[in-house]
């Protein structure tokens, strides 16, 4: 069984971000260059949305269909009903909720500011480290 620990110990402390007024094409380039599945969208260190690969694909297909430019990140990001975590949350609780929500990443926010991000990859790393330390079966 995985021993519970603080999310702060495993979150990505400086996630790759983008501004809402950036072009989707720039976001696609950042996602591709960093080999990640999405970006936190921030303005003045405040989380205002998330942009996934699927959001980018939606922008590309819409632009192709309409023979138009891809548009801005703000046009395609998810900004309502964002699910975020606090760095002090229990990693097991967050992992269970991410599985339930079927989300690969979750922004970590403290006092309204983006302080990190937890992803499935970090969760798997935590399990591996616990196993190697003999804390799981």
Domain membership flag for residue 1: no
Residue 137 pLDDT > 60: no
Q: How far apart are CA 134 and CA 122, in angstroms?
A: 18
Nearest partner of 17 among 100, 105, 133, judged by Cα? 105
Residue 33 pLDDT > 90: yes
Residue 126 pLDDT > 70: yes
Residue 2 pLDDT > 70: no
Domain membership flag for residue 94: yes
Domain membership flag for residue 57: yes
Domain membership flag for residue 2: no
Q: Which domain holds residue 41?
A: 7-132
Domain membership flag for residue 77: yes
pLDDT number for residue 4: 60
Domain membership flag for residue 62: yes
Mean pLDDT of 36-63: 92
- Please check whether residue 49 is in contact with residue 24, taking contact to mean a CB–CB distance below 8 angstroms: no
The total number of structural domains that make up the chain: 1
Buried b (16+ CB within 10 A) or exposed e, 81-96: ebebbebebebbebbe
Residue 3 pLDDT > 70: no
Q: How far apart are CA 50 and CA 38, in angstroms?
A: 7
Per-residue model confidence as pLDDT tens digits over 18-32: 999 999 999 999 999
Domain membership flag for residue 112: yes
Which pTM value belongs to this model? 0.84
Residue 103 pLDDT > 60: yes
pLDDT number for residue 68: 62
Question: What CATH number is attached to the domain comprising 96?
Answer: 3.10.580.10
């Amino acid at each position: 069984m995985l021993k519970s620990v603080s999310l702060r110990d495993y979150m990505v402390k400086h996630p790759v971000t983008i501004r809402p007024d950036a072009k989707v094409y720039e976001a696609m380039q950042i996602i591709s260059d960093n080999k990640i599945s999405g970006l936190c969208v921030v303005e003045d260190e405040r989380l205002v949305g998330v942009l996934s690969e699927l959001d980018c694909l939606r922008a590309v297909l819409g632009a192709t269909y309409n023979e138009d430019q891809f548009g801005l990140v703000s046009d395609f990001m998810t900004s309502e009903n964002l699910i975020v975590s606090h760095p002090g949350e229990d990693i097991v609780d967050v992992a269970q909720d991410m599985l339930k929500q079927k989300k690969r990443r979750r922004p970590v926010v403290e006092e309204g500011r983006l302080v990190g991000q937890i992803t499935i990859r970090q969760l798997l790393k935590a399990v591996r480290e616990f196993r190697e330390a003999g804390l799981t079966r």
